[in-house]
Structure 1
Amino acid sequence: MAIAGGCDTLQELELHRCSDLALRPISGFNNLQILRLVGSVEGLYRGPGVTDFGLTILAHGCKRLVKLELGGCEGGYDGVSAIGRCCTMLEELTISDHRMDAGWIAGLSFCRNLKTLRLQSCRRIDVDPGPLDHLGTCPTIETLQMRRCQLRDKRSLQALYMVCEAVRDVVFENCWGMDNDKFSLLSICRRVKFLSLEGCSLLTTEGFESVVLSWPDLLRLVVVSCNNIKDDEVSPALSSLFSVLKELKWRPDTKSVLAVTLAGTGIRKKGGRFFKRV
């Protein structure tokens, strides 16, 4: 409270080893727009953590938040939905190493102005997202990023994609468990314009192609270190798609040669399109 009283124009705050109790005076920061909370970090420190109670205090106290990062926090539907209802200006939400309760994904639909959702180093997505037909959507969502996450459960991924159905940019980076079956669920998101895949070693050319060819608006594509996506398995339909993209970074494995893969499409010839290389 003393800090809040003396720094009435403070806009950005980072709190580590945070607890519900530590969030009681958060309402004193009237102009706070960017907040990072770290409840507990495995191997570094453990504490009482942040639960639904703390997230609700945060929601009512920081109504001008634009960016929020929750690291090592607990909570669930009640806390996430409270943030959505109260923090109406929230545009960016990052959740890392979470300990969220079952059903937290359903709370995201209350974030009506959310543009970017990031999940980082999460061992699970949602143990039980509840009935899929009861999920809402984030109508303004533009970007979904998942980095170093364990994608064990197909149903929780489906729930996440349904909530982010309007997403334009999708990024997967070194996510364990992203196979053809789980990747196929992404076809729910029909407006994707940019896809970036890195380190998705279980995904094959067939599984990748079936989804990518279903997106009529795709303009930019990055595929790096996805060893089961092969140059020699690229179909004529996928090659045709490559030829009309505005940007392509294609290096699924160390043996990939873009010029050979796209022979006959007009790429790398005079008058053809230029594609960025990794």
Structure 2
Amino acid sequence: MSVLEENPDSPSKKRPPRWSDIWLKKTKPLKHVVFAMQLQSLASRDPRSQTLIPHFANIDRTLLLSDELLLKILSKLPLSQRNPNSLVCKRWLYLQGRLVRSLKILDWNFLVSGRLITRFPNLAHVDLLNGCLFSPRNSGILLTHRMVSMQMRYGNCSNWELLEENLLPVEVVDGGLQALANGCPNLRRLVVINTSELGLLTLAEECLTLQELELHKCNDNVLRGIAACENLQILKLVGNVDGLCCSLVSDVGLTILAQGCKRLVKLELSGCEGSFDGIKAIGQCCLMLEELTICDHRMEDGWLAALSYCENLKTLRLLSCKRIDLDPGPDEYLGFCPSLERLHLQKCQLRSKKSVRALFRVCEAVREVVVLDCWGLDNDMFTFASVCRRVKFLSLEGCSLLTTEGLEATVLSWLDLETLVVVSCKNIKESDISPALATLFCNLKELRWRPDAKSLLSSSLMGTGMGKKGGKFFKRT
């Protein structure tokens, strides 16, 4: 009986499937990639074949990937590689532009020409502040302010005249806002200066997702346009800025704002005028307001009492205020903010005992008090803070008039105090620390003590166990 030899090329004999055949069965783009890699390997082995397949050996393999897939890959790379990646080719430049979400505009023509929308179609945060200014290039004079920085032709005019001279006209700014709104319907944050009601109305109609707005050189008329932004949650209004610009925001504008933007969560009023009525309207209409910042206010006396209408307010910040409230009225009309947790005072002038006393009374429910570089906070002023019985965190920095005795008189009345920070308060002396204050230091969860550069408390406490009672710790600075 003869044995027939099997032919390996016979169709009846099937070879076992390879893993690559199974993997690439329904992945057409990957087949092209593998094919190109095989051709490149063949060309590297046989130099004669390089002349036969030059096109396949030098192919750009990223062309086999769709824009969506390549976009996902590029989005995973670090931000530091975005600029180098955009130089690879025009396609990568376009895709990198789609990844940009935040941009500061310096050239207004870049916006109105349409190149901004073409280059960055998915912008969500846009800053137009410096773009609304035109100034000569290669000028030797530079005006720098906390708000803007620009070049100027000559230096024999005031800052206010210089800003008015270099600001784009309102009509031009409105036209730019219309172009931005038409091209970026998903805009979420905007910073702009010198616009009008019409410009903001266009923005409100086209950009329904706008949630954060920072408006400089604002006035009551402009606030009519802001009121149309129904989904606005974060708002910063800059009215009068000393030495730079002058605009009026009064109770009329604050009332319009309150009735239109009822979903506000954070509100900052800088250089704004107003009184009890304006703050009361905000408290009654903006029921979701949790954070209120007032910077360099021009408000009339008696406005502090209106804070009690902000029932859900959790954070109150006063920045660079030359005065708080010279005539807050009787205590029975002040009320207090029941939900307030944080009170921050920074670079304020605490000259009037009546206003400081009223402020702490309105904020008697706070649990965190921060006083930073405030002039006039002496022992008598700080005593008014004793009414805040629930304080857990206290930070004092740059309070040069406060002494150890004044600090002790108040903090010993706070039974819930857990954290104490004392920095650059030159009249607080370690030699004046009483046994009662030292005992308080032992029970704190955190103590940062550096009243002056010569403070030795942290080193002198080493080995004594102070600040470690009950597993608590003492933090050196």
Deviation, structure 1 residue 257: 1.2
CA distance change for structure 1 residues 265 and 51 in 2, over 3 Å: closer, same or farther? farther
Q: Does residue 1:22 correspond to 2:214, yes or no?
A: no
* Structure 2: runs of 5+ lacking an equivalent: 1-200
* Structure 1: runs of 5+ lacking an equivalent: none
Match of 1:70 in 2: 269
Match of 2:236 in 1: 36
Would the aligned equivalents of 1:243 and 1:265 in 2 still touch at CA under 8 Å? Answer: no
Deviations 1:142-168 (A, max 9, x none): 000000000010111111111111000
Match of 1:220 in 2: 419
Q: Quick check: which has more Rg, 1 or 2?
A: 2
Q: Which moved more, 1:262-271 or 1:156-165?
A: 262-271
Residue type matched to 1:14 in 2? E
Q: Percent of aligned pairs with the same residue?
A: 66
The correspondence for 2:279, drawn from 52, 71, 80, is 80
Match of 2:457 in 1: 258
Deviation, structure 1 residue 88: 0.3
CA distance change for structure 1 residues 6 and 228 in 2, over 3 Å: closer, same or farther? same
Larger RCO: Structure 1 or Structure 2 (Cα < 8 Å, ≥ 6 residues apart)?
Answer: 1
Deviation, structure 1 residue 200: 0.2
Deviation, structure 1 residue 259: 3.3
- In the TM superposition, 1:176-195 aligns within 5 A as 176-195=375-394
In the alignment of these two chains, the number of paired residues is 277
Q: Structure 1 CA distance, aligned partners of 2:401 and 2:463?
A: 29
CA distance change for structure 1 residues 45 and 233 in 2, over 3 Å: closer, same or farther? same
Q: Does residue 1:276 correspond to 2:461, yes or no?
A: no
Would the aligned equivalents of 2:442 and 2:469 in 1 still touch at CA under 8 Å? Answer: no
Match of 2:330 in 1: 131
Q: Structure 2 CA distance, aligned partners of 1:226 and 1:100?
A: 30
Q: Structure 2 CA distance, aligned partners of 1:212 and 1:11?
A: 40
Secondary structure in structure 2 of the residue aligned to 1:186: helix
Match of 2:206 in 1: 6
Would the aligned equivalents of 2:377 and 2:399 in 1 still touch at CA under 8 Å? Answer: yes
Deviations 1:52-111 (A, max 9, x none): 111101100110000000000000100000000000000000000000101000000000
The correspondence for 2:290, drawn from 67, 75, 91, is 91
Q: Structure 1 CA distance, aligned partners of 2:341 and 2:468?
A: 34
Q: Does residue 1:115 correspond to 2:314, yes or no?
A: yes
Q: CA RMSD in A?
A: 1.6
TM-score, normalised with respect to structure 2:
0.57
Would the aligned equivalents of 2:441 and 2:467 in 1 still touch at CA under 8 Å? Answer: no
CA distance change for structure 1 residues 78 and 268 in 2, over 3 Å: closer, same or farther? closer
Deviation, structure 1 residue 27: 2.2
Would the aligned equivalents of 2:442 and 2:468 in 1 still touch at CA under 8 Å? Answer: no
Would the aligned equivalents of 1:73 and 1:98 in 2 still touch at CA under 8 Å? Answer: yes
Deviation, structure 1 residue 270: 11
CA distance change for structure 1 residues 87 and 271 in 2, over 3 Å: closer, same or farther? closer
Would the aligned equivalents of 1:232 and 1:261 in 2 still touch at CA under 8 Å? Answer: no
Deviations 1:165-208 (A, max 9, x none): 10000000000000000000000111100000000000000001
